[in-house]
Amino acid sequence: MKKGADNQLERPISLKQLAEELGFHTSSVRKAVARRGFVPFTLSEGKNKPLFLNPEDAESFKKQIENERNNSIIANVGISPSRISGVYFIEVPTYEGENRIKIGWSDNISDRISTYRTIVPDLHIKAFWPTTDAWCERAALKCAERLGKRVHQELFEFDDIDVVLSELSDLFLKMGIENKHQLIDSDAQPSLPADARTSRG
């Protein structure tokens, strides 16, 4: 009986299983694993074979994700602003005088905002939720679609922007992620919490 239990503990854990346990999309979990320094492997040769982690790495990966979501990794880690990743909520003025909202995710928010500002210099960053998990974008877009009109990919029109911002802030707070828009203000020199790190990948 003990031998069987030991074999169970030593059995590799599939990335598909990890994705289901942690709420990742199966197409993004491999990138999330690699970003955190883990190396998945296949059990046999050939193309498109399932990927696995050994049990120790799988457990470490799960704990790291849980810590990030709970904001319990050691803070006060200074990183380059160019490596901040997360979901943004940007107010974009139009020529007609209307304000639209652009919602999306980037693994390099500094470059993304710089690019947008070359097109719309007077855009306004109303919210930024630092996270390394791209699947959070889908959650934000789904919420936005429920509350307003999607006019083009990441671009939305809302009757009340503040209401939408409040709803999305509540959504991210449930995942332990606070609005940190001040971290990407052009004049800011941020020292970010560790849950915004993208030092790998």
The predicted pLDDT at position 91 comes to: 92
Compute CA distances 159 → 33, 44, 156, 173, whole Å: 39, 54, 10, 23
pLDDT for 87: 92
Rounded to two decimals, the pTM is 0.54
pLDDT tens for 8-18 read 457 899 989 98
Per-residue b or e along 124-136, where b marks 16 or more CB atoms closer than 10 Å to that residue's CB: ebbbbbbbbbbbb
Q: What is the pLDDT of residues 151-196, one digit of tens each?
A: 888 899 999 999 999 999 999 988 888 888 877 764 333 333 334 4
| Architecture of the domain whose range is 2-69 | Orthogonal Bundle (1.10)
Where do you find CATH 1.10.1660 in the chain?
Answer: 2-69
Residue with tokens 């120790």: 56
For the chain, residues with pLDDT lower than 50 are 1-8, 72-82, 186-201
